[in-house]
Structure 1
Amino acid sequence: MKRAFTVAATILACTLTACTTTQIDRGTYLADTQHHAKNADSRIRFLVMHYTEIDEARSIEVLTGDQVSVHYIVPDAPRVEHGEPVVYQLVPEDKRAWHAGVSSWQGATELNASSIGIENVNLGPIGEQGGEKKWQPYPPAQIDALIRLSRDIVARHHIPPTRVVGHSDIAPQRKIDPGPLFPWRALYDAGVGAWPDADAVAAHLAGRDPNAPSDVRALQEKLKRYGYDVATDGVLDDKTRRVFSAFQMHFRPSNYAGDADAESDAIAQALLDKYIDN
């Protein structure tokens, strides 16, 4: 009774004097929040993009079930309310969602603990055409909603461009989402994520045929410095090809065969110049 009276008196006093109490009653103690440490930042360090491979209704069902979870779902046809697109938030940003799995980026592992995951309703590969995968496109309304959401997240958590990544970037041995049609360039143009400067790519190509073979070890080393978990042994085996393919789907989606070629080498160096070595 005495404690209830004290809290009530504090609230009344603040009401009369227009002050704001800094104490939070947590049931068995009071937390005073008037002092703020300067040396603190968000525990969210990465933003990871996915596609669902299933439709909207099924995506919600699966991602609210017992096996996997994600912070946000962006529908392929978001409804609009009050002139703004609606996305689904399934997990609070300060909670861990189980979306990244076994993964690595820039030397960090256990990315579920330090990332926000966005699932985009998209079927991914929808067949083959001319012996190559055919992919479902991302509609303009979905891209608009994704840009709005992503721009807000990176601004609030101060996520740098090189830490906005795809599931295939952080887990190239087992994942291919969000695929080669994902709008990485549109996100970059809106201020989200990384992209190489065309002039820098051309300068590093230095007149070489973009499809000309390049040194495997050199490309491995560049991608490792950028963030990928890749060997640097100079061997173009299946594991390295999957890493090269993930990189190409992100930054050169017109050809993601996983070869070590001059254009991939030039793009990698342009990214290092812009984001890592400056």
Structure 2
Amino acid sequence: MKIVPLLAVAALMAGCASVSPEGPRLDHTLTATAQSERIKYVIVHYTVSDLPRSIKTLAHGTEVSSHYLLTDTNPPFFYTLVDENRQSNHAGYSSWKIYNQLNSASIGIEIVNPGFTETPAGRVYAPFQQAQIDQLIVLLKDIVKRRNIPFGNILGHNDIAPQRKQDPGPMFPWKQLADAGLIPWPEASRVAARLPGFQQQLPEVAWFQRKLAEVGYAVPQNGELDQATRNVISVFQTKYRPSLYDGTPDAETAAQLDVLTSPVPVLPAAPAAPATPPPAEPVDSN
């Protein structure tokens, strides 16, 4: 009496294990509404080396890579090292807003640049070639269009890893990307209007920490001007005020933060002028 059920179970298991020679049966007629592009960010780096060593590290190394490598040749061009649909290992331990470990959600662009040298007078950063920036802007516009990258999601490596990274450094011309419509920028007139108030009364450290977090940075929220907070302030200043990036919370930094985190007020539309009625026709007295 027990043989029949056991045989049935064995037959059922054999049927489940069998695979159709044509492969799985897939129906592609439905598409989920709740989905989005996997790539949400573009991260800009410098290589801290010359072109041959950059190629050796990014193309032939086993630890780090990038989707694109922008050369310093004349003229500069891009090596496409990793397909955009695949993950490259360029971001490392990183965070921005609600995202962590941005390798899986970003495209990495490395720019050949020596980075910085240590001198008796302090650290000196190397400038970027204008031809490199021109090429970069062309590629960024293309990626933003194809991938629907949200406005504000083109970042530097130091933005997403402020405690351990400096690239692309204070010589990177972020303002040119803003002028090209690729990133937000604190409007100078609005910053100037708010500057006197912050010069008169500088906010507490906790205010700076809240504003930096609102922008997107991973920053302590302890109300203390510790080294981690200074590092984040310095990264912010490197981008928006590269003439001075010592990590000190000052009035200009406060004004820039306040403008970046305050939407431009939308003025109500003026009421439409009433339509002019057509001239009255003369009355026919006949």
Q: Check whether the contact 1:49–1:178 (CA below 8 A) recurs between aligned residues.
A: yes
Q: Structure 2 CA distance, aligned partners of 1:162 and 1:78?
A: 30
Distance 2:81 2:36 in 1: 23
Helix, strand or coil: the match of 1:119?
A: strand
Asked whether the 8 Å contact 1:196–1:267 carries over to 2, the reply is yes
2:88 is matched with which residue? 97
Are residues 1:246 and 2:246 paired? no
Q: 2:69 aligns with which of 68, 73, 81?
A: 73
Give the counterpart of 2:212 among 195, 218, 223: 223
What is the CA-CA distance between 1:32 and the residue it aligns to? 6.2
1:176 and 1:203 mapped to 2: Cα distance?
A: 31
What is the rounded CA distance, in whole Å, between the counterparts of 1:31 and 1:88 in structure 2?
37
Can you give the 5+ residue segments of structure 1 that lack an aligned partner in the other structure?
1-26, 80-84
Answer whether contact 2:152 2:182 (CA < 8 A) is retained.
no
CA distance in 1, matches of 2:149, 2:192: 28
Q: Distance in 2 between matches of 1:204 and 1:89?
A: 44
Shift of 1:33: 5.1
Q: Which residue of 1 aligns with 2:189?
A: 199
Q: Distance in 2 between matches of 1:33 and 1:149?
A: 33
Q: Identity of aligned pairs, percent? A: 44
Offset of residue 28 of structure 1: 3.4
Q: 1:208 to 1:265 in 2, by over 3 A?
A: closer
Q: CA deviation at 1:195?
A: 1.2
Determine if contact 2:41/2:155 at 8 Å carries over to the other structure. yes
Indicate conservation of the 8 Å contact 1:160/1:193, yes or no: no
Q: State the Cα deviation string for residues 82-105 of structure 1 (Å, max 9, x = none).
A: xxx631111111111111111110
Q: Distance in 2 between matches of 1:133 and 1:199?
A: 32
Counterpart mapping for 1:135-154 below 5 A: 135-154=125-144
The aligned runs of 1:123-142 (5 Å cut-off) are 123-128=114-119, 131-142=121-132
Residue 113 of structure 2 is matched in structure 1 by 122
Could you tell me which residue of structure 2 aligns to residue 257 of structure 1?
246
Mark the CA change 1:30 to 1:63 in structure 2 (over 3 Å): closer, same or farther: farther
Q: What do the CA deviations read for 1:65-92 (whole angstroms, capped 9, x no partner)?
A: 101111111112354xxxxx63111111
1:218 is paired with a residue whose SS is: helix
- Aligned mates of 1:206, 1:91 — CA distance in 2: 48
For 1:33 and 1:188, locate their aligned partners in 2 and report how far apart those are by CA, in whole Å: 41
State the partner residue of 2:35. 40
What SS is found at the alignment partner of 2:262? helix
Pairwise CA distance, 1:159: 1.6
Q: CA RMSD in A?
A: 2.2
Q: Could you tell me the TM-score, scaled by structure 2's length?
A: 0.78
In structure 2, the gaps of 5 or more residues are 1-21, 265-286
Bigger radius of gyration among the two: 2
> 1:91 & 1:78 partners in 2: Cα distance?
23
Q: Which residue of 1 aligns with 2:171?
A: 181
Which residue of the partner structure matches residue 10 of structure 2?
Answer: none
Cα deviation digits, residues 207-242 of structure 1 (max 9, x gap): 6559x8652211111001110111122211111111
1:157 correspondence with 2:147: yes
3-state secondary structure, aligned to 2:228:
helix
Counterparts in 2 of 1:43-54, with a 5 A limit? 43-54=38-49
Q: Quick check: 1:59 aligned with 2:54?
A: yes
Read off the aligned partner of 1:53 and give its amino acid letter.
Answer: V
Whether the aligned pair in 2 keeps the contact of 1:244 and 1:260 (CA below 8 Å) is yes
Classify the secondary structure of the residue corresponding to 1:116.
Answer: strand
Give the Cα–Cα distance (whole angstroms) in 1 for the partners of residues 80 and 74 of structure 2. Answer: 13
CA distance in 2 between partners of 1:48 and 1:75 (Å): 17
Q: After TM superposition, which residue ranges in structure 1, 4 or more long, deviate above 6 angstroms?
A: none
